[in-house]
Structure formats: structure tokens, C-alpha cells
Amino acid sequence: MKAAQDIQSFVERVRAHDTEFYRDHWGTAQAFGELPPVSREDFRRVPLSKRRYKNGKAMVKVIRDANGPFLSEWAADDIREELYSVPSKRPMVYLSNAHESLEKGAWCRLNGMPSLVGEREPEVAAIEAERFRIDSLITDSTNLPKLRSYLEGRKEKLATISVLDTTFDIPTLRTFDAFAHTVRLVLALPEVGAFAESTPDAYPRFRVMPNCIVEQNGQALVTKLSDLVTPVIRYRFECAEPLECTV
């Protein structure tokens, strides 16, 4: 974990910012461990323009769940710093959510790779993957099975399949071990980015990514020590089953 001093100075920087979102939310709480957690409801309740902590080149995406939509903004520099996948020559992004797909397509570009985002229809995405001879895949639990036929038809294994999600069906994911040298399970939320990773064999043990803090004391909270457009500090998230997050 980052030195407590670094964490506290990050919190103070956010508190001192002109944008009032966190200052209002925290009230008089001072120490990191005492800060009231934030949740999707807080992001949904407060418009993006009132929780924007920096200006610059950015993409805006809609995040929607059963309780309604809200906007999340990601600066180009912040997208680049994420650890969604590992470098490869010809990656393809194929996620079930269009906004997430585009963001990860930009991530490829910003990390020195050509960018290919698969079209929605699996048959079309398979044509793209085949013709471009992709060597890695960035996907999620919903979309990965849609490419099974394509993967079964490949002569060589992919270098990596990165599965970005918050729930992982391990028995199903294990069946994809045959199609890649490495299957990465990446714990990620659209408004948070990636914050921990694992493999089907290590599940449910996750390694927390650098600059991230995961707290699990009755509720799961994630903090990213990065100056995001809307910083993520003690953000409450839900997982289908308890995870063992280690640094």
C-alpha cells in the first residue's frame, strides 16, 4: 500500500480543489479511513459538470444500470495509464458495451498499438479478427463466448485474453484457457477503470494494481491514487462473491 502520507496528501489535494463534490461529501471527516464512501448513486445524483476535477482532451461515456444513467469522463492521459491489457502487436477489443469498447480502442492507440474495435455482430467481429490476424483480445464475460467458434478455428493460441468485468464465471472461463497463453481476469468498472487482476487458476485471489487501494471491511471500496476527471476515492463496488485482494 502507498505510504499513508501520500494517500493523505492526495486526499487533501482533492479537498482543496475548486470542484466541491468530494469536499461536500466528506464534510468534516479528515483521515482517509474516515472518509464517507461514495457510490454510483452519488455519481448519478451529481451532474458531471459538478464533479469534474480537470479539463482537457477527454471522452464522455454513458454508464447505465437498473437505477438509471450517468456520465463518466475519461481524459486521454488517464486512459493511457490503465492496465486493461498487456502490449501486443495486433489486439482486438470486443466488449458488450459500445462506450467501453471505444475507450479500450483508444487505450490501444495511446499505448502504441494499432486500434481495432470489433463491430457488434459476432460474425462481423470474427471476420475482423481473422483478417487482421489478431494476437490478443480485450473482452468481457458476455462477449468472449460469442467468439468461441472463431477461437476454435485458430491455428495458434492468442498471447492474451483479458476479460474485463466484475463477475467471472470461472468454469466457463477455464474452457478458454486452450485458446490463449494467458487469460487475465481484470476487475474493472466503467467509472473506475481497472483496479485488480487475477487468472482463472488464482481466482478468487486478485492482485491489486499499482496506485489502487482496495478495502474490504464489510463493504468493498476502491481508491485510485490518480488525478482522474472524477477521482475515485473510497468508491463502493459490489462483487458477486468475496474476493481476496492482495497488494
Partner 1 sequence: MNILERKDIVEIWKGIVAGFIAKPPLHPEEYEIRLTSGTSGNEPILIVRRHEPLHWNALRRVQCSGSMGVRLQHLLNALVDEPDVPTRIWALDGSDIQEEMGPLMEDYAPDGIRGSCSMILRAAGHIPAKTRAAVSSAVFGGEQVTPALRQAAERAFPNAKLQTVYRAIEVGSISEEPCGHLPFGHNHPAAGFGMNVHDPDKQGVGDILVSVALSETTFIENYRTGDLGRAVTGPCVCGKEEVFEIVGRRGQDYVKLSGATLRREEWDRVADALRLYNDYRVEASKVVLNGKVQGKVLLRIFRRDGAGTEALAQEIADKVAKTAFVTPTRTYSELVATGLLAPLKVEFSTTPFLRGKKEVKIVEK
Sequence-ordered list of residues with C-beta below 8 angstroms from that of 12, at least 6 positions apart, any chain:
none
Task: In angstroms, give the least distance from the CB of 179 to partner 1.
Answer: 20
Task: In angstroms, give the least distance from the CB of 190 to partner 1.
Answer: 13
- 124 versus 240: smaller Cβ distance to partner 1: 124
- 58 versus 239: smaller Cβ distance to partner 1: 58
H or E segment and range at residue 222: strand 220-224
Task: In angstroms, give the least distance from the CB of 107 to partner 1.
Answer: 10
- 104 versus 234: smaller Cβ distance to partner 1: 104
Residue 102 CA to residue 195 CA, distance in Å, equals: 19
Q: What is the CA radius of gyration of the chain?
A: 18
Residue linked to cell 477503470? 193
- 6 versus 65: smaller Cβ distance to partner 1: 65
Residue 144 CA to residue 57 CA, distance in Å, equals: 31
- 112 versus 153: smaller Cβ distance to partner 1: 112
Residue 206 CA to residue 45 CA, distance in Å, equals: 31
Dig out the grid coordinates for 186 from the structure.
Answer: 481484470
Peptide bond into 204 cis (omega under 30): yes
**Sheet (strand 244-246) strand order:** 91-94, 136-139, 158-165, 180-189, 193-198, 205-208, 244-246
The footprint of partner 1 (CB under 8 A) covers 47-49, 55-62, 64, 68-71, 73, 76, 79, 89-90, 98-99, 101-102, 105-106, 108-121, 124, 127-128, 131-133
Residue 205 CA to residue 198 CA, distance in Å, equals: 7
Query: Could you give the dihedral angle defined by the CA atoms of residues 225, 38, 245 and 203, in that order, rounded to the nearest 10 degrees?
Result: -120
Which residue from 87, 185, 80 is spatially nearest to 136, judged by alpha carbons?
Answer: 87
Task: In angstroms, give the least distance from the CB of 187 to partner 1.
Answer: 24
Task: In angstroms, give the least distance from the CB of 46 to partner 1.
Answer: 10
Task: In angstroms, give the least distance from the CB of 67 to partner 1.
Answer: 11
- 164 versus 212: smaller Cβ distance to partner 1: 164
Task: In angstroms, give the least distance from the CB of 70 to partner 1.
Answer: 7
- 48 versus 239: smaller Cβ distance to partner 1: 48
